Structure 1
Amino acid sequence: MKPTESELEILQVLWALGQVTVRQVNDELNKKREIGYTTTLKLMQIMFEKKLVTRTDEGRYHLYQSAVSEDETQQQLLDIFVDTAFKGSAMKLVMQALGNHQTSAEELDEIKKLIAQLEQNN
């Protein structure tokens, strides 16, 4: 299931911190922008229902943890983005990204290594 933008922000906190309380997630989110505790709580309850997170009882509070991997989620979102924005063309995406941004020599070396790996696998 594709997470919303707000859910993705929460998942990023969970991927970084592991198993945490709603308060800890809310504190992290508030470092970027003001968001109310009850809003974070409601979002995380919805994410639990959608099976994006798991929840464990610890006394008076719940500990939440991501139920989806970062890599899996990034791949899913990228697939959707390539399909919708670039009509399924990964080449158009790469050309757009490389043409619009300053790419370091190190990044270009990594891209070249990836291309070489892909060529070996074909």
Structure 2
Amino acid sequence: MVASKERRASILHLHLAGCSAKTISKQLQIPLKTVYNNVNRYKATGTMEDKPRKGRPKSATTKKIVKIVREKIRRNPRRSERKMAFEVGISARSVGRIVTSHLRLRSHKIRKVLEKDNQRSEKTEEKRSGRRQPPS
């Protein structure tokens, strides 16, 4: 399949050469409606270029920033998203989006396991006395 810009250029070239829409359609093996749409677009705008897209341009998820985040994760996978965000200069939420959607990774928060009171008191006693007790 020919790319749309190349197809549009060939339609315009044949149209300016004086070929009819039906001839262009048969020669390029494309629908007649496509030929009419492209010719009308050229007549209206004077160009075959695409119109600029609507919406706000990406600022935080540029290829450069995604590459920086990927490199930071490669160097230290245990680094938090908050710290990476601070170092890169973007929000932690943007780093999270980059990690999940662009790098297809999943992040997690490291949690400490709760200890029972008797385990905690045994550890403090060990630290105070300077010796370890054998496990019971």
Q: Of Structure 1 and Structure 2, which has the larger fraction of its residues in strand?
A: 1
The alignment's TM-score, normalised by the length of structure 1, stands at 0.32
The alignment's TM-score, normalised by the length of structure 2, stands at 0.29
- Which structure has the greater CA radius of gyration? 2
Q: Of Structure 1 and Structure 2, which has the larger fraction of its residues in helix?
A: 1
- Higher RCO (C-alpha 8 Å, min separation 6): 1
